[in-house]
A and B are shown apart, each in its own frame.
Chain A
Amino acid sequence: MTAFKKIEENLRKEAKSLLESGRVALVLAYAGGYDEKHPVPYIAKTVADADHLVFNEYCTHNMARYLTRYPLGTKIAVAVKGADSRAVVQLIQEGKVRRDDLVILGIPVTGMKNQKTGEIIDTKTIADTINPVIHDILLGDEIHGVKTGSPYDVLAELESMDKDARWAFWKKEFERCIRCFACRKACPMCYCDPCFMDISRPRWADKSPTVDGTLMYHLTRFYHLAGRCIDCGECTRACPVDIPLYLFHKEVAKECEAMFGQAAGMNIEDKPAMADFKGEDSDQMLGS
């Protein structure tokens, strides 16, 4: 793998050249935070801004999350790791961004670390997308020969539980939710405006943090992301109380992949599974 320092150097160099030539108006990447372990998502607009860009193992944020802030037609360069690149593809599929507007700066990388725990995050998320699935410019060499396993391996424990135990597991997790909405706000696919949770007429879920309302929020969000979650893990890292949201998203993604034969954000030509109809689509939902 290309060294982090070298990736950072390439990032700055490419950002400068893209901004200088006027090919893009913005570069979405990372800048230094209050210490090395806490880099901050950063939007470089000038060549001078590009000097602030950094890249290290703590740059876990998915910069695709910021793409939908800008009107179509804005020329943007975005730095993406493997899973992040799937978010870009998914957003293109959904018509939220246009391929022509983007310069995708791909970063093949392993060994990214959770800022809070220091643990390597590859195995829980981004399991088989170490290399960006789409790019215009690579900021490091593609990585080959790393055995990653299935992204769904981590589901074994939950899947071995019976229905009641699983329900008890999730109920306990959601009772800890403080309704800060960091999960939806960190999610590159949660761009609904307004989110159903912010609508007051009708009110879909209690505004106060009742357990019922919290379940309504999370379950709706999980299903809203069916066939769309690209497994970056940002929701889970954003959660201040460490609710393992990624497990639910993965379960839905796994079922979706089994039923419709495609994973979210892998191919720019695909249509989102829930927005497409094919004669041969699985009808197992109708059975039993």
Chain B
Amino acid sequence: MLKKIAIDQFSELVKALMDRGPLYAPVKGKEGVDFQMIQDPADVTLDFYNTVLSPKFVFFPQSEDYIRYRIIQGSPEAQPVPLESRPAVILGVRPCDVRSFEIMDRHFLGAGVIDPYWKAKRDSTTVIGFAFDVTQPADPADFYNTFGYGAADPEGSDIFMIRTGKDLLFKGMTDRGKKLLDSLGCLQKGDDRDEKTFEETVEKGKTVRTRSAEIDDRVIAKKLVSIFDNGEFWQKVSMACIACGVCTYVCPTCYCFDISDETLFREGSRKRFWDACMFTDFTLEASGHNPRPRIFQRYRQKVCHKYTYHVDKYGCISCVGCGRCIRSCPVNIDIFGIVVEAGKL
């Protein structure tokens, strides 16, 4: 059953969601629009193409404490930090980003070890996906069509949201999503015409063209391994790379982290926090040896992790074509173009 609310009543919905628990939604900030935990319903905006940073931090914060401790003479005290399981909602996630959560699930939940930190937040969070504006062209950096995603694909969301002229339409895609929709008194029932609009938008979303190429997971995985030693190619495609961490930090599917104990005046915490394979010290060993001292080696690692190792280990490419790494790259490196070029070698 479709539900709807008039756009000018949208803040009623935001308030209702905030009453249930933490709500993450797009907020206009200085750099553009990004997801934030909402304090004031008026902060939420639906006028954006896509967020600068990906929504992964809702499940995988940039920094997260495992254990907090005090160093007391003789008997240090240490307490594990309780897992965060609260009925949260993340609203406004674009279809390609919704797929990123499923890819991250394979790593955090399907690798033989279940990551309790990811799982607690993922299990307790309802994802409200949000169709791109299907009347507008895609950003030139995007290439999510490559992975078969449309601009208004509802799959993967608990609830999928579409904006029409004056309404927001909501469709429950999972039991959790349907339950949440049923509990929201501020929503009205949609009629047959709304159903039709919803379906038409999903279809129209499939006609929004991003850059796209035939990239078969297994074929590209093999291809990249076969050109691993082609230093000339890797140096050429990464010559502009300055080895910062922008691409990995804005990426919805990069999950590498570091762990460190940080102590200040006898109190501290053991924490994990994002790390980036483009950093010089990412693979620096205690001996002083660094197996990837050069930028092209680290760039190759990044591409191969996403397009080869992830396929070998988890059966899918770890990229959704959201275009963030390309839009935010200080030197405009285009991973899509590089993968396509590699495929032709």
A: which residues have CB within 8 A of B? 33-35, 38-43, 61, 65, 115-116, 176, 178-182, 184-186, 194, 198, 200, 206-210, 234, 237-238, 240-242
Q: How far is the CA of A153 from the CA of B211 in the complex (A)?
A: 43
Q: How far is the CA of A129 from the CA of B63 in the complex (A)?
A: 42
Q: Are B330 and A237 in contact (CB under 8 A)?
A: yes
Interface positions of B from 195 to 241, Cβ below 8 Å from A: 211, 239-240
Q: Are A180 and B52 in contact (CB under 8 A)?
A: no
For A179, list chain B residues within 8 Å (CB): 245, 249
How many Å from the CB of A236 to the closest CB on chain B? 10
With A35-B140, A198-B281: A240-B52 Cβ-Cβ less than 8 Å: yes
How many Å from the CB of B167 to the closest CB on chain A? 32
Q: How many A-B residue pairs have CB under 8 A?
A: 105
Most chain A CB atoms below 10 A, which of B53, B240, B334, B336: B240
With A43-B239, A194-B280: A186-B244 Cβ-Cβ less than 8 Å: yes
Q: Are A208 and B337 in contact (CB under 8 A)?
A: no
Q: Are B326 and A34 in contact (CB under 8 A)?
A: yes
From B32, B63, B332, give the contact of A210 (CB < 8 A): B63
B91 within 8 A of A: no
Q: Are A41 and B30 in contact (CB under 8 A)?
A: no
Q: How far is the CA of A206 from the CA of B262 in the complex (A)?
A: 7
For A116, list chain B residues within 8 Å (CB): 327
Most chain B CB atoms below 10 A, which of A33, A180, A234: A180
Q: How far is the CA of A80 from the CA of B326 in the complex (A)?
A: 24
Closest 5 CB pairs of A and B: A238-B330, A182-B244, A185-B244, A180-B245, A208-B273
Q: Are A209 and B262 in contact (CB under 8 A)?
A: no
| Total interface residues in chain B, CB < 8 Å | 40
Q: Are B30 and A240 in contact (CB under 8 A)?
A: no
Q: Are A240 and B273 in contact (CB under 8 A)?
A: no
Most chain B CB atoms below 10 A, which of A116, A182, A240: A240
For B331, list chain A residues within 8 Å (CB): 40-41, 61, 186
Q: Are A34 and B271 in contact (CB under 8 A)?
A: no
Q: How far is the CA of A61 from the CA of B154 in the complex (A)?
A: 40
Q: Are B242 and A65 in contact (CB under 8 A)?
A: yes
With A207-B258, A210-B262, A240-B52: A40-B62 Cβ-Cβ less than 8 Å: no
Q: Are A185 and B239 in contact (CB under 8 A)?
A: no
Q: Are B262 and A208 in contact (CB under 8 A)?
A: yes
Q: How far is the CA of A214 from the CA of B338 in the complex (A)?
A: 33
A-B contact pairs, 13 of them (CB 8 A): A34-B326, A39-B332, A40-B240, A40-B334, A41-B239, A43-B239, A65-B242, A178-B249, A207-B273, A238-B242, A240-B249, A240-B328, A242-B32
For A237, list chain B residues within 8 Å (CB): 330
Q: Are A209 and B332 in contact (CB under 8 A)?
A: no
Most chain B CB atoms below 10 A, which of A33, A185, A208, A242: A208
Chain A's closest residue to B330 (CB) is: A238
Q: How far is the CA of A210 from the CA of B258 in the complex (A)?
A: 14
Chain B's closest residue to A237 (CB) is: B330
From A181, A209, A242, give the contact of B30 (CB < 8 A): A242
B333 within 8 A of A: yes
For B327, list chain A residues within 8 Å (CB): 116
Q: Are B244 and A238 in contact (CB under 8 A)?
A: yes
Q: Are A185 and B262 in contact (CB under 8 A)?
A: no
Q: Are A185 and B332 in contact (CB under 8 A)?
A: no
For A40, list chain B residues within 8 Å (CB): 240, 331-334
B243 within 8 A of A: yes
How many Å from the CB of A65 to the closest CB on chain B? 7
For B211, list chain A residues within 8 Å (CB): 34
With A180-B249, A208-B260: A33-B334 Cβ-Cβ less than 8 Å: yes
